[in-house]
Amino acid sequence: MAWAAFGGDYVKWYSDGRNVKAVMHHHDGTNYVTYRCVRENRSEDGFERMLAKIYNQQYVSQSELNYYTRSIHPDVAKVYGWPVRQRTAPEKTAIAR
């Protein structure tokens, strides 16, 4: 976690273990930011539609966000030596028929 002051504003950067985030406090409000990286080999039209939703303050599902972007946490973790959660496959269960 890091705090910084920029021209009277305060920013706190941190990781929730999956994403790099920021809380930015300033004279007329607070902004919450999640930093992500655009994935390659995805439909540019689909990505543009998702961006339009964000710009127009419409709902974007987590699965849509994950499809078009990826977390930068693993990249930042390498630089700062943060632990990285290993993704585990869900347990397979037999379906009784």
Q: Say if 96 falls within a structural domain.
A: no
Q: How far apart are CA 95 and CA 73, in angstroms?
A: 36
Q: Say if 94 falls within a structural domain.
A: no
Q: What is the mean pLDDT of residues 21-49?
A: 92
Residue 49 has pLDDT above 90, yes or no: yes
12 contacts 20 by C-beta, under 8 angstroms: no
Q: Say if 47 falls within a structural domain.
A: yes
Q: What is the mean pLDDT of residues 25-51?
A: 92
Q: Say if 93 falls within a structural domain.
A: no
Least confident of 34-38, 53-57, 82-86, 89-93: 89-93
Query: 62 lies in which domain range?
Result: 2-80
Q: Say if 92 falls within a structural domain.
A: no
Q: Say if 97 falls within a structural domain.
A: no
pLDDT reported for residue 97: 46
Q: Say if 87 falls within a structural domain.
A: no
What is the number of domains present in the chain? 1
Burial of 32-41, coded b for 16+ CB within 10 Å and e otherwise, reads: eeeebeeeee
Q: Say if 90 falls within a structural domain.
A: no
